[in-house]
Chain A
Amino acid sequence: MPLSGYESVFFWIFAIGAIFAALLTVMARNAVHSALFLISSLVSVAALFVLSGAEFIAGVQILVYVGGVMVLFLFVIMLVNVGAEERGRDEIFNKQRQVTTSLVFCFVLVLGVLYAVNKGSSTLTKQNLAQEQSVEQQAEKQVAENAGLKRSATRTSRITRDTERVGGSLYRYASLPFEIASVLLLVAIIGSVMLARTLRQEASADDLDPDVLKDEAAHDPEIMKLEATSQE
């Protein structure tokens, strides 16, 4: 069933917003601006999720992406030095030839994808039209289906059971991938802690290559002390 009424207005607002914010993410000179534009793009896509009836996924998108991943990005941007590109000294894009080649590639990709979607969807609409009714009749059918459900607090819409069904099938239909995902997250936590350690932290955990330790001890005598305390 296609969207209609205010739904389609909001669809166009959020679709165009998401695409413009994505373009600005790629083109912004300052990495912090890029991160903020990416946040607005992700929020617009979450709104599109709500329009397609996936409220739970929209909430997860906001909580995990905007609340977790983007904050991590902002921390890392502020840890590494981005002063040079802010002042406009350094080039933010690759060399001219590489940029031209990749843009031509992307343009061909755009045309191909639009052609494929167009071709596929026009046959799909013809198929559906043979058996389905008009948009208004479909909307009426939807309202009739939802009549048994409880009303929401605003009294304009019904509380559907979709989130309940997503949770149920996450534990039944997809329980093995669910367990694998938890192991993956554990590996990611341990891996990022190991990767982001400093040399001193590695030395105090007695986890440093002896040759590297000897080299470093030449201009940082304290590192030997850290190594010694860990061996007691």
Chain B
Amino acid sequence: MLNCFYPIFILLFQEGAGSATRWDAITEGVRHPDLSKFLVVGALLFIIGVAGVLTRRNIIVIFMSIELILNAANLNFIAMSRYLRETGNVNALAGQIFTVFVIVVAAAEAAIGLGIVIALYRNKETIWVDEIDLLKW
């Protein structure tokens, strides 16, 4: 039974090139988390957000899941920016600049989206997305 989870653990902790055994590689990965760990956290947050958008009925929670997705993208940008700065890239701050713009767009999107939710609630008296079917015939 536990064996079927084994591939997931292998995928979570990549083989460090300098270590002798797989156990060494795993402990090395836990003691010194690098770029790949940041990317894995970002990917998991993104996928939780996608699952929220696809499964929830409450339109406000769907908006919150979209915020989670944008935040996961921000985490990737920041991790990559750090990696580029340490490898001596000249334009390493571009990731941080882009993150500022992602946050701006997320704020604008939340303001407009919640305005739409309020207008919709006034007209349809519901926040369940499966009951909002005006365009369906």
Contact = CB atoms under 8 A, between A and B. Distances in A.
Main secondary structure of the interface of B (DSSP, over half): helix
Contact of B78 (A57, A120, A126, A128): A57
Interface of B: 8, 10-12, 14-18, 30-41, 43-52, 54-58, 60-61, 63-65, 67-68, 71, 74-75, 78-79, 81-82, 85-87, 91, 93-94, 96-97, 99-101, 103-112, 114-119, 121-122, 127-128, 130
A90 interface: yes
A113 B60 contact: no
A20 to B, nearest CB: 10
Nearest to B128: A90
B134 to A, nearest CB: 16
Interface string A13-55: 0010011001101100001001100100110010011001110
Which one of A2, A60, A111, A185 has the greatest number of beta carbons of chain B within 10 Å?
A2
Given A31-B61, A114-B43, A170 B97 contact: yes
Given A22-B45, A23-B48, A106-B50, A94 B57 contact: yes
Contacts of A69: 67, 106-107, 110
Contacts of A90: 57, 128
Contacts of B32: 2-4, 8, 135
Given A82-B127, A113-B46, 17 more contacts: A3-B33, A4-B32, A8-B31, A22-B68, A35-B64, A57-B99, A73-B60, A73-B63, A92-B58, A94-B57, A103-B51, A103-B55, A111-B11, A118-B36, A121-B35, A192-B114, A195-B118
Contact of B39 (A81, A93, A121, A173): A121
